[in-house]
Amino acid sequence: MASDRPLLEVRDLRTYFFQDEGTVRAVDGAGFSVFAGRTLGIVGESGCGKSVTARSILRIVERPGRLVSGEILLRRDGVETDLARLDAGGREMRQVRGGDIALIFQEPMTSFSPVHTVGSQMIETIRLHQQLDRRAAREKAIEMFGLVGIPRPERRVDEYAFQLSGGLRQRAMIALALSCAPRILIADEPTTALDVTTQAQILELLTRLQRREGMAIILITHNLGVVAEMCDEVVVMYLGRVVERGPVDAIFHEPRHPYTRALLRSIPSIHAPVRTRLPTIAGSVPHPYNRPACCPFHPRCPDFMPGRCDQAEPALLPTGPGHQAACFLYEGARP
């Protein structure tokens, strides 16, 4: 079945930023798989490398950042292409961007050029990836606008971003991203800037589109609630590394990695007794130039094992069906 083989497979991705003051290892060995029709959630605190991972996949990491090593295998028509090997500015990569993989952002207002109509930007993208003439592209744009639920799409197409309301802008951004029917949609914090109602609408829209098109979604967020609602698989990142990955149920009900456990514990619960202290994770995220060369979480880990955790970096070890955690606690454990 098509959904058996992953559409996109990331292996040991490393993206470093080479600055004068030091090297920031934004992504330091991340790996995960994305399947058609399913949603992968990437969670973690700010600065853990989620966004940089997304940009690395699309090869739009800006200087002084660079994809240092790793593989990004995209499967198209049965052929596997390693995006990491492609020339970032080359033709093939450009076709992948927008055509096979699309990206939407947190803030729709600034995602659109303020001096071009939203329609023109869509038409441009459409014509870039598909051989359609002006008129056909415009028709398609209007169709997409209708698909995402924008009323009177034929009028909205000629408007500017500042003329649309917040919710409509968000939908327009989704339409823009989906205009060329990408098979993978990367959504970088798509709901963080929205109020709860709009949030629900957008998530519902994304689900609907996913079902309709059978596309895969990579949902990047720090909002665990959204993850629980939308995702099929979850990847937990900390300091540029994947510390746990697995099916969403397993992650939420049986978190293995101490970091994941701490994260889940810190969600305020409506069931907790009144005046319960909100558990926090001790310590703070270390300075980007000072990443320890061992388990990244060990300074803050309640299950820290001296002599082991500060000596070597744990690989992702199996802890259940399809479930892995990078922690020495599971050395020698049976899947």
Which residues lie closer than 8 Å to 289 by C-beta, 6 or more apart?
A: 21, 22, 23, 24
Cα of 193 vs its chain's centroid, Å = 16
Whole-number minimum distance, CB 136 to another protein, in Å?
A: 18
* Whole-angstrom Cα Rg for the chain: 21
Q: How far apart are CA 59 and CA 231, in angstroms?
A: 24
Angle, vertex CA 151, rays to CA 149 and CA 152, nearest 5: 135
Of the residues 125, 221, 260, 324, which one makes contact with another protein according to CB under 8 A: 125
Nearest CB to another protein, comparing residues 95 and 311: 95
Q: Are 145 and 174 in contact (CB under 8 A)?
A: no
Identify which range of 28-36, 121-129, 249-257, 286-294 contacts another protein by CB under 8 A: 121-129
Cα of 278 vs its chain's centroid, Å = 27
Q: Looking only at residues 206 through 245 of this chain, which bind another protein when binding is defined by CB under 8 A?
A: none
Nearest CB to another protein, comparing residues 105 and 238: 105
| Cα–Cα nearest to 291, from 48, 70, 64 | 48
Nearest CB to another protein, comparing residues 178 and 325: 178
Q: Is 241 exposed, middle or buried (0-12, 13-18, 19+ CB in 10 A)?
A: buried
Whole-number minimum distance, CB 94 to another protein, in Å?
A: 5
Whole-number minimum distance, CB 155 to another protein, in Å?
A: 13
Whole-number minimum distance, CB 306 to another protein, in Å?
A: 41
Q: How far apart are CA 264 and CA 252, in angstroms?
A: 7
Of the residues 45, 124, 213, 313, which one makes contact with another protein according to CB under 8 A: 124
Q: Are 308 and 328 in contact (CB under 8 A)?
A: yes
Q: Are 29 and 22 in contact (CB under 8 A)?
A: no
Q: Does 298 bind another protein (CB under 8 A)?
A: no
List 27's β-bridge partners, or say none: 15
Contact map string, positions 79 to 118, toward another protein, x by CB under 8 A: ----------x----xxxxxx--xx-x-x--xxxxxxx--
Q: Looking only at residues 13 through 72 of this chain, which bind another protein when binding is defined by CB under 8 A?
A: 55, 58, 60
Nearest CB to another protein, comparing residues 193 and 228: 193
Residues that bind another protein (CB under 8 A): 55, 58, 60, 89, 94-99, 102-103, 105, 107, 110-116, 121, 124-125, 128-129, 160, 162-163, 176
